[in-house]
Chains A and B, each alone.
Chain A
Amino acid sequence: MRARLLAAALVLAAAPLAATAQTPYPHTGRDLAASCGICHGTNGYNAGGMPNLAGQSKEALAGHLRDFRDGKRPATLMHQIAKGLTDEQIEAVSAYWAAQKLK
């Protein structure tokens, strides 16, 4: 029992070290934006019938996604999709779209 507790404590103590030792993956936003491309176009450039996400403000995009997720913004579908995203993912994908040039 004591050995198990000790082992658990060691694992907990080691966790933050392991997290900081890893370089964060640089393309989280790019890869997520790509997934959204099926409805919103490559890199968020709308190809017809959807709002343009490319070049919008990061705060507005992230705010909309959080509002969809939290049921504060009515939707046919986006409330269901946004519930699948973490806060970190919402930040990363919003930053990626915001960094695209307005065409």
Chain B
Amino acid sequence: MSNDYTRRDFIRAVGAGAAAAATPAILSGCASEPAAPAKPVGRVIVIGAGYGGATCAKYLRMWSERRIEVFLIERNAQFVSCPLSNLVLGGSRTIESLTIGYEKLREYGVQVIRDEVTEVLVERKRVRLKRIEDLPYDRLVVAPGIDFMYDLVPGLNNPEAQKVVLHAWKAGPETVELRKQLESMRDGGVYILAMPKAPYRCPPGPYERVCQVAHYFKQVKPKSKVILLDGNEDIVSKKGLFMAAWNDLYKGIIEYRPNQEAKDVDVKAMTVKTEFDSFKGDVLNVVPPHGAGLIARQAKLVTTNNRWCAVNWQTCESAAVPGIYVLGDATLSAAAMPKSASMGNNHAKIAASAIVATMTGGPLNPAPTINNTCYSYVSDREAIHVDSVHRWMPDKKTLEPVPGSGGVSAQRSELEKQYADAWARNIWSDSLG
């Protein structure tokens, strides 16, 4: 632990003590004033305030009873949810309704810092930042999400091309811009979504996205077409439910083309090239292959296929660097584990439980059990789900789906749409305060 941390914390502790002494007894039960913190046990820095990082910061504070100092470093001013962002393309949600500030995390004593980590100095247990000076840590949590491998789609490997052909696979400005492209497209035009081979972020996301774009076309531009070029040999998630929605709701609008991995894009000709074919569209939406966010790469946490970070799933501690924990989409997924918001949020809780145990001298959870629930909106009115329960298997030393558990919707329904909305409200509240 650095001197600077100890000194500052000493001053803070003295300050809190003095304030408590000066507080009249009548106010001592006031719920809005947190009690003077117990003896601090060290500092955790969390890189990235998405579903994984934000949740981990909050639960570290809760479960350590504020004894662990938590710095949460995030380069964006606000959180924008990827789940539900396809509804912005469909027209039934605004991006504002998916945008949430970080202020409530401060009520837990999380120190949210708007900055960007440029380097992890693993040997010295410090992070280097863009705006402020280096910060030391006792434990580090890396939750950077994904970065795209544009070199695998050469025509997109420059900033100008990326302004024309969007991924919109990170919710935010690109989501809004893609919606504008769809709005300005002529009736009778063609929208093409190209998806890489699994594993990618949000397995059902592409199939939901084409539902939402087709929903918009059906209302406003009925002569238009949607083509999904899937790098996979078949629909990756909720196959029967998506096929039923396409047949019942969007017949003649959606064309599904499996085994069509985008190898290149010609931005001038507006074509996507696959191994043997070329597809021309009016709006191209190409999601390149992706891997762990760049800072994970810099910190040498990437272990597998030059893309993902292997972890010990009992704790989410990196398999490459002790004392560093990796969460969310950046991880090398365990068996049948999707790269989803629900999983990122739950990785965070595995890590928080393990970090608090390690830093306070308590026992580790011998059998972490987490669940995944992912809803997809097939229109503005109906939704479907997939869920699973994953338990630590001590003999195999990994998380695995519990046999007999999990499943998908019996059918799409308006009731499931209500539950999907409720899932969103609850996970936002759980992750962000």
A residues in contact (CB < 8 Å) with B = 23, 25-28, 30-32, 34-42, 46-50, 76-77, 80-85, 89
Contacts and interface: CB of A to CB of B under 8 A. Distances in A.
A40 B426 contact: yes
A70 to B, nearest CB: 12
Contacts of A27: 353, 365
Contacts of B387: 77, 80-81
Contacts of B373: 38-39, 77, 81
A38 B431 CA distance: 8
Interface stretch (B181-189, B222-230, B267-275, B406-414): B406-414
Given A31-B368, A80-B407, A84-B405, A26 B425 contact: no
Interface in B141-165: none
Nearest to B408: A80
A38 B415 contact: no
B202 to A, nearest CB: 15
A26 B62 CA distance: 16
B218 interface: no
B345 interface: yes
A35 B399 CA distance: 14
5 contacts: A23-B363, A35-B349, A42-B429, A77-B373, A84-B389
A34 B347 CA distance: 11
Contacts of B430: 37-38, 41-42, 47
B345 A84 contact: no
B380 to A, nearest CB: 17
Give the residue among A30, A37, A41 with the most B Cβ atoms within 10 A: A37
A82 B148 CA distance: 37
Interface of B: 58-59, 62-63, 341-342, 345-346, 349, 353, 362-371, 373, 385, 387-389, 391, 401-402, 404-407, 409-410, 413, 415-416, 418-419, 421-423, 425-430
Nearest to B430: A37
A25 B405 contact: no
Given A34-B349, A49-B421, A84 B371 contact: yes
A84 B194 CA distance: 35
Contacts, number: 117
A35 B371 contact: yes
Contacts of B422: 39, 48-50
A25 B365 CA distance: 6
Nearest to A23: B363
Contacts of A39: 373, 419, 422-423, 426-427
Contact of B419 (A23, A25, A49): A49
Contact of A76 (B349, B370, B385): B385
A49 B375 CA distance: 15
A83 B407 CA distance: 10
B371 A76 contact: no
Contacts of B366: 25
Contacts of B345: 37-38
A76 B419 contact: yes
Contact of B369 (A35, A37, A40, A80): A35
Contacts of A32: 369
A34 B356 CA distance: 15
A35 B427 CA distance: 10
B400 to A, nearest CB: 11
Nearest to A83: B405
Contacts of B426: 37-41, 46-50
Contacts of B406: 80-81, 83-84
A20 B93 CA distance: 55
Given A34-B349, A76-B410, 5 more contacts: A38-B341, A38-B423, A39-B419, A77-B385, A80-B406
Nearest 6 A-B pairs (CB), nearest first? A84-B389, A49-B422, A84-B405, A47-B429, A48-B425, A84-B402
A35 B365 contact: no
Contacts of A31: 349, 353, 365, 368-369
B180 to A, nearest CB: 30
B348 to A, nearest CB: 9
A36 B422 CA distance: 13
B425 A76 contact: no
A42 B367 CA distance: 21
A80 B349 CA distance: 22
A9 B388 CA distance: 37
